[in-house]
Amino acid sequence: MIWETLLLGMHVLVAAALIGFVLLQHGKGADMGAAFGSGASGSLFGAAGSANFLSRTTAILATVFFMTSIGLTYFASTRGAPKELMKRELPATTAPAPAKDSKAGEVPQGAAPAAPSSAPAEPAGKSDSKAGDVPK
């Protein structure tokens, strides 16, 4: 149990670090601004050093994240609580008794929908159209 808690804590910390390192990296389009003389290409690690350091650290953090995910999956699969929960029977409940004034299955008088007419309405000015002429 203590190992699962430690692994979960490590998983959350690695996930936060991974998000941070991904957000620190600049995209492929950032180099276009540097080509036209923008000063944004200078960074803390240098122009070429940041890509190597950040990409390697991101790859290591992603690997650790996947390993902690597999570990948490293993701990969840060895726990027996969900299987026992599925086998347990729930207590039977009784339906409330209907009120004395209402009858079961009775439909109120004004609630029935109007029946559609069997013949379609004729458009204005076209009295020679037939119902069989309309494609389906």
pLDDT tens digit sequence for 49-83: 556 888 999 999 999 999 999 999 999 988 765 55
DSSP assigned state of 108: P
Q: What angle is formed at CA 29 by the lines to CA 25 and CA 32, rounded to 5 degrees? A: 120
Q: How many separate domains does the chain show? A: 1
Does 99 map to a domain? no
Does 132 map to a domain? no
pTM for the model: 0.47
Does 60 map to a domain? yes
Calculate mean pLDDT across residues 89-109: 65
Look at the block and give the residue holding tokens 């007419």.
Answer: 117
Enclosing domain of residue 68: 1-23+49-77
Instruction: Find, among 28, 83, 73, the residue nearest to 51 by Cα.
Output: 28
Does 13 map to a domain? yes
Asked whether residue 109 carries a pLDDT value surpassing 70, the answer given is no
